[in-house]
Structure 1
Amino acid sequence: HRVLLCEDIMSRDVISVDEHAPADQARHLLLDHNIRTLPVTDAEGGLVGVVGLRELTKATDAVRAVMSKAGTASPDTPAMSLLPVLTDGRSHAVVIVDAERRIIGLITQTDLLAAAARVHMADTTLAAA
């Protein structure tokens, strides 16, 4: 079997918000879609950061004023290499980007945990055979 890559487990329908959008719009997107991390894009659609409810709690400005640096990876990055980022206590997702920093996917803690469980179960089944 081969190494599991980010492109194998990433969510492809990524909801994002423009950096100039009001904080209220970002709050609504997070709550309406029940997500924890919202990628923030520039006018060309490139990733410039991420925002979550914690940053938006008291924000009244545009999203750009409260966004933080995004954890990123490429589609061909081994998925398990995201483990340190997604277990740091601060990051809930890693944004998968192409060479121009356009968003092509997102991997959450839950995505990585589910993939690790599938790999573990497959390894356990092979070992028992």
Structure 2
Amino acid sequence: MIVEEVMSRDVITLSPQDKIESALKLLNEHHIRHIPITDEEDQVVGIVSDRDIRDAAPSILAAEQNLDILESPLQSIMSSPVITAHPLDFIEDIASLFYDYEIACVPVTHANKLIGVVTEKDILYTLIQVTGIREQSSQIEIRVPNKIGTLPKIAQIISDRNTNISSVFLYPSKEDQSERVIVLRVQTMNPMPIIDELKKQGYHVIWPNLPGMSE
């Protein structure tokens, strides 16, 4: 999935010369946490977050304190330069940016002009969709050798039982780096026939592993 499929296109912006007070008002009115700062050509020159404002004026909600700070221009507190994304970037790359740089919002630009923003919330919601967790389904986790052709064989077992796969994830096994854990979400509320067949064919099902279930 790419950024343009999940980004918000209706973006509220301000200029570097606008006051901190204006940003605070917009953040509260629209229940947002970030405002891209753009120049007259719609190019991103900075970004301001609710945390930036709190850091600049930690007692702005106290009676009549720091009012002079609210009159300062946003260019005095905005973060710059800004990490941006392209609409054709993959969302997992953006998630990596959030983690590596400890940020929660990335403006999306095309031809150097702002066209949207993508936030941590957008990425989290997309992950929920990708996993298929909101569908009626069951999760199965299988530890397998990291060998070519393993996944198609497992998929065939599931297909033979007239069951669709909602999502597939793989990650390295903590027990053995030469193995992988395949996480499947299958469209059935009774995965036991599939689990029994997987075990019959020698696969190590690690979830579900309920009391009374045979290895």
Q: TM-score, normalised by structure 1?
A: 0.86
In structure 2, list runs of 5 or more residues that go unmatched.
58-68, 133-165, 169-183, 188-215
Report the Cα distance in structure 2 between the residues aligned to 1:15 and 1:120, rounded to whole angstroms. Answer: 31
Q: Which residue of 2 aligns with 1:128?
A: 186
* 1:86 equivalenced with 2:98 (yes/no): yes
Q: Against the structure 1 CA distance between its residues 127 and 31, is the aligned structure 2 distance closer, same or farther, given a 3 Å change threshold? A: closer
Report the Cα distance in structure 1 between the residues aligned to 2:185 and 2:29, rounded to whole angstroms. Answer: 43
Question: What do the CA deviations read for 1:5-53 (whole angstroms, capped 9, x no partner)?
Answer: 0001001101111111011111111111111111001122211010012
* 1:74 equivalenced with 2:71 (yes/no): no
Q: Which residue of 2 aligns with 1:95?
A: 107
Question: What do the CA deviations read for 1:81-117 (whole angstroms, capped 9, x no partner)?
Answer: 11122235741211110122x1111111110011111
Report the Cα distance in structure 1 between the residues aligned to 2:94 and 2:49, rounded to whole angstroms. Answer: 19
Runs ≥4 residues deviating over 4 A = none
Letter in 1 for 2:87: P
Structure with the largest fraction of helix: 1
User: Do the aligned partners of 1:72 and 1:95 also contact (CA within 8 Å) in 2?
Assistant: yes
Aligned with residue 5 of structure 1, among 2, 7, 11:
2
Report the Cα distance in structure 2 between the residues aligned to 1:53 and 1:35, rounded to whole angstroms. Answer: 8
Q: Which residue of 1 aligns with 2:34?
A: 37
Report the Cα distance in structure 1 between the residues aligned to 2:50 and 2:126, rounded to whole angstroms. Answer: 26
Aligned-CA RMSD value: 1.9
User: Do the aligned partners of 2:131 and 2:185 also contact (CA within 8 Å) in 1?
Assistant: no
Q: Which residue of 1 aligns with 2:73?
A: 62
Mapping of residues 14-33 of structure 1, within 5 Å: 14-33=11-30
Letter in 2 for 1:62: P
Q: Against the structure 1 CA distance between its residues 89 and 74, is the aligned structure 2 distance closer, same or farther, given a 3 Å change threshold? A: closer
Q: What is the SS of the residue equivalent to 1:73? A: coil
User: Do the aligned partners of 1:71 and 1:93 also contact (CA within 8 Å) in 2?
Assistant: no
Report the Cα distance in structure 2 between the residues aligned to 1:44 and 1:12, rounded to whole angstroms. Answer: 17
Report the Cα distance in structure 2 between the residues aligned to 1:9 and 1:71, rounded to whole angstroms. Answer: 18
By how many angstroms is 1:78 displaced?
Answer: 0.5
Letter in 1 for 2:127: A
Report the Cα distance in structure 2 between the residues aligned to 1:32 and 1:64, rounded to whole angstroms. Answer: 21
Structure number with greater Rg is 2
| Structure number with higher relative contact order (C-alpha < 8 Å, ≥ 6 residues apart) | 1
Q: What is the SS of the residue equivalent to 1:38? A: strand
